[in-house]
Amino acid sequence: MQPTASPRLSRWRLGALVLALISGGEAGVCIALAALVVVFYLLNHGFLSEVNIRAMLDAVAYVGIIGVGQTVLLVAGEFDLSVGSVAGLCAVIAGWLMTTGHVPVALAVLGGLAAGALLGLINSIVVVRFGIPAFIATLGMLFVAQGLTQVITNGYPIYPLPDVVGNFGQATSLFGIGWAFVILLVLLVVGDFAMRRTTLGRNIYATGGNKEVARLVGINTNRYKTVCFMLVGMLAATAGMLVMGSLASATTSIGQGWELTVIAGVVVGGVSLFGGVGTVLGGAMGMLLLQVVQSGLVVVGVSANWQQVSVGVIMVLAVGLDVVRRKLSFRQVHSVSDVASLLTDLEVATERRTIQRSVGATDDVRVTTTEHNIERGRDS
Amino acid sequence: MPYILATEGLSKHFAGVQALRTVDLKVQPGLIHALVGQNGAGKSTLVKVLNGVYPAGSYEGTVRLHDAPVRFSSPADARACGIAYVPQELQVLENLSIAENIYVGQTGLESKALVRFNELNRRAAQVLSRLGVALDVRAPLASLSAAQKQLVMIARALATAPSVLMLDEPTAALSVHETDRLFLILERLRSEGVTMILITHRIPEVLALADWATVLRDGQIVAEIPRADFHEDAIVSAMVGRRIDLLFPPRDTPIGTEEVLRVERLRVPRPGGAADIISDASFSVRRGEIVGLAGLVGSGRTEVLSAIYGRIAHEGRVFVEGREIAIRQPADARGAGIALLTEDRKNAGLLFNLQLGRNITLGNLHLFANHGLIDRDREDTAARASMRSFEIKAKSIRADVAHLSGGNQQKALLARVLVHTPKILLLDEPTKGVDVGTKQEIYRLILELAGRGLALIVVSSELPELLGMCDRFLVLSNGTIVDEFTKADGSEERILQATARGPVRQQIATA
């Protein structure tokens, strides 16, 4: 059908096309990422120095590993705020096992993974069985895991760990990049493939798209959600133990502040907070984008205060883009109530952050940004 | 002649699709003006332009109200100019009272920051009495039936004292009784001089109520018919562009003797403990038989299907081909060869995050997968084959299901439940919100499936449809089967009488 084009209409369509491109998930985030890289490179060629690239990839590796799981869980229609403190607790458990527990390192690592799976299972039982919203359930787990970390360590890092741990954590693979990044790459390939090409992945999309529809076609949605929660727990444990390796010490601060970084990152990458939409690759691109912004600002010498502002803006965009994307695709009318519940969630997040700040956490950046989110959401 | 509302050369495009082309709508004051057309004909688009959902600038042409050109930038704009709109879907706040629901979003009832509830309730009661409805305005919306909620929506529109009231498929969720009552109310409003635009695709409603009918097809006005010239055939042929001689294909395949489905003493308890939703229902369906389940909305029709499919908690025994099946969840029912087409395409049918083809193959991926790995070629081939055999009109299997018309969405869902042929097919309002052409395709499909030996149960609010299609009827009233008869004895009168026999639980209280 050849439309009879009037100038106004074709302009309107062009605008829609641009918007669709921006909000198109992977393509959009790739373009944004490339643009940012070019800008930072032009501002300071040092941005693309070997050292800085290596530093960025190493830094994104830990949260990126969790991001793979968080993406899958978000697609399934749930999310996990406890990833940071689960990472910390699992690292501490593994560290305790291999020192005080005198367990061989390999078994201790398996113990850490098992702990992550168990914590994920508990999250899923609370959410799926007892119907407590994921936000509250995993927020509770965040506190519980943080507390248990203190119980185990009494606030002191577990140190020294067997040499092999630190050697692995500080070892480099190809091009001098750490093993964590290699693990991330493997997880990305496997995760992306599984979500795109397997019945498991498709059924997870169905579960997050509409749980009732999925149930009606015979999908055991509860089981899928449980598996996803356990996956996130294990990946959080993996990331936590990798940081422990790089520090050669199981400190109590491992994983602090990761939860919102991970969610903001994958949402920037096109993963919907409302379930059913997003890809593992896109989520990883989003996390990389956040990392590029943070490193880029350091490299071009912007003062720390402005860096915080930028991170905040990006995080607001994370939610904003998701809302725009939903509007563009004429989704179901539930968005209003979804946004409302999301805002409630963010309010609780703000509260938690405030509490954490008062007990001495350093990253109060996110307090400000979540408040921005809420303000913005109310206006629209 | 002065028109109260008119459009001149109205056109609207969506990404490559022309939804409206040079529409000149003319609405005379004080009349009920029916806007008819199949799904996808452009009715909704036209209405959304008229009530400001699509703002001025996003379409071409002019909208005139009381002969003056108007440019609405939002629904609030349109409301302020006296155009009220009652959408098809209920948009109510379940936890607020009737009065609050009627006046939600309207200012002027507050003194400083406080709501004056007495005034609010008084005015709400006035609006309801204008509708001839006796309801306690302080009752929460959650306590009302769907029909009563619909009336609250109309009251909300009326509370703005509109000069034009637009009603989008107001009877979609109503039973025959409730529809009759609604019509009385609309006639009363007409006698008070309210201009109404009634959007519908039910021709009997147009014949019964409207003074004027504008028929839309493919985004254009194809007929403008005054009441004096109303004739069912004329309207239908304008809608479809061809004459429909035979709505129901003849039944020429025999009904088997073997019971495929037997349900014994089915009971669905009501959460909270009051009277059961379904009490003690027993029946069976034979191979190749189409059983119609009739009854008012709320009589338990949907719940019978839901219980058999394991969607809701129930007691009783279900036998498939003589073997008892324990059905605790839908997966159990599917495993036994039962399939369900739900009434609510939006919330319990389509997955809007997946493309058309993947909506079709959903739930049957094992047919196209090896060890959990999807063979995309096989999946796409199967989806394309379904698209062809069900004549789903879409650009490709990659199409976004949200952009399909109701009829094509329904065909996609039918394709889904039939990817893996079931033994028993449960259909809940299979032609709801579907255009006339697709309806006939669905009738033909249902008969064909019966001919292939499936056992079918059909729920429908449209009695002629049910009577034309089914071999045997069960009439439900308040969760009890109150009558059962075969096609030879079936008539609308008999169904209505059986329905009336049961105690009616909840009706609109009309003064």
Q: List the domain boundaries for chain A.
A: 22-379
Q: Are strands B32-36 and B60-65 parallel, antiparallel or unpaired?
A: unpaired
Q: CA–CA separation, B472 vs B296, rounded Å?
A: 18
Residues of B in contact with A21 (CB under 8 A): none
Q: Tens digits of per-residue pLDDT, A93-118? A: 999 999 999 999 999 999 999 999 99
B488 by Cβ neighbours in 10 Å (0-12 / 13-18 / 19+) ranks as exposed
- The candidate with the shortest Cα–Cα distance to B358, out of B384, B391, B389, B332, is B384
| Rounded-to-10 torsion of CA B381, B382, B385, B387 | -110
Residue type (1 letter), A344: T
Residues of A in contact with B416 (CB under 8 A): 217
Residue B371 sits at the chain A interface (C-beta within 8 Å): no
Q: CA–CA separation, B390 vs B446, rounded Å?
A: 12
CATH for the stretch A22-379: 1.10.3470
Residues of B in contact with A277 (CB under 8 A): 353
Placement of tokens 């999946």 in the chain: B379
Distances, alpha carbon A66 to alpha carbons A8, A60, A276, A317, B451, in Å = 46, 10, 18, 21, 54
Q: Per-residue pLDDT for chain B (511 aa), expressed as one digit of tens each?
A: 588 999 999 998 875 567 898 999 999 999 999 998 876 678 888 999 998 889 988 899 999 999 899 999 988 889 889 999 988 777 888 888 898 888 887 766 666 667 778 888 888 898 888 887 888 888 888 888 777 888 888 888 888 888 999 998 888 767 777 788 889 889 988 998 899 999 987 777 888 889 999 999 888 899 899 998 888 778 877 776 654 444 677 777 888 889 999 999 999 998 766 678 898 899 999 999 999 999 876 788 999 999 999 999 999 999 999 999 999 999 999 999 999 999 989 889 999 999 999 999 998 999 999 999 999 999 999 999 999 999 998 889 999 898 888 889 999 999 999 998 899 999 999 988 787 788 888 999 999 999 999 999 999 877 778 888 899 999 998 889 999 999 888 877 788 777 765 543 333 333 3
Interface size A-B, in CB pairs within 8 Å, comes to 98
Q: Tens digits of per-residue pLDDT, A292-338? A: 988 888 888 888 777 767 767 876 776 676 677 666 654 433 333 34
Is there a contact between A218 and B354 if contact means CB atoms under 8 Å apart?
Answer: no
What is B286-351 written as a DSSP string? ETT-EEEEE--TTSSHHHHHHHHTTSS--EEEEEETTEEE--SSHHHHHHTTEEEE-S-HHHHT--
Residues of B in contact with A338 (CB under 8 A): none
Residue B95 sits at the chain A interface (C-beta within 8 Å): no
Per the model's pLDDT, the better-predicted residue between B39 and A208 turns out to be: A208
Residue among B335, B348, B376 whose CB faces A216 most closely: B348
Q: Which domains does chain B have, with CATH numbers?
A: 5-240 (3.40.50.300), 256-337+422-511 (3.40.50.300), 347-420 (no CATH)
What distance lies between CA A338 and its chain's CA centroid?
20
Q: CA–CA separation, A115 vs A289, rounded Å?
A: 31
Helices vs strands, H then E, count in chain B: 17, 25
Confidence at residue B87, expressed as pLDDT on a 0 to 100 scale: 84
Residues of B in contact with A208 (CB under 8 A): 353
Angle, in degrees to the nearest 10, between helices B376-389 and B406-418: 120
Confidence at residue A57, expressed as pLDDT on a 0 to 100 scale: 92
Q: CA–CA separation, A288 vs A311, rounded Å?
A: 13
Is there a contact between A203 and B354 if contact means CB atoms under 8 Å apart?
Answer: no
Q: How does B72-101 read in b/e, with b if 16+ C-beta sit within 10 Å?
A: beebebbbebbbbbbbbebebeeeebbbbb
Residues of B in contact with A197 (CB under 8 A): 373-374, 376
Residues of B in contact with A333 (CB under 8 A): 89
- The candidate with the shortest Cα–Cα distance to A91, out of A46, A146, A42, A144, is A146
Residue B94 sits at the chain A interface (C-beta within 8 Å): no
Is there a contact between A210 and B366 if contact means CB atoms under 8 Å apart?
Answer: no
A325 → chain B, closest CA residue: B353
B310 → chain A, closest CA residue: A216
| Rounded-to-10 torsion of CA A252, A258, A259, A260 | 140
Å between B485 CA and nearest CA of chain A: 31
The first and second tokens of residue B375, run together, are: 């063979």
What is A104-153 written as a DSSP string? -HHHHHHHHHHHHHHHHHHHHIIIIIT---HHHHHHHHHHHHHHHHHHHH
Residue B398 sits at the chain A interface (C-beta within 8 Å): no
Given a contact cutoff of 8 angstroms between Cβ atoms, the answer to whether B390 and B446 are in contact is: no
**pLDDT confidence band for A378 (50 / 70 / 90):** very low
Q: Tens digits of per-residue pLDDT, A239-271? A: 999 999 999 999 999 999 899 889 988 988 888
Write the secondary structure of B68-108 as one string of H (helix), E (strand) and C (coil): EEECCCCHHHHHHCCEEEECCCCCCCCCCEHHHHHCCCCCC
The first and second tokens of residue A272, run together, are: 């919907």
Residue among B335, B347, B374 whose CB faces A202 most closely: B374
DSSP-based three-state secondary structure for B261: strand
Confidence at residue A124, expressed as pLDDT on a 0 to 100 scale: 97
Is there a contact between B13 and A198 if contact means CB atoms under 8 Å apart?
Answer: no
Q: CA–CA separation, B178 vs B297, rounded Å?
A: 9
**pLDDT confidence band for A1 (50 / 70 / 90):** very low
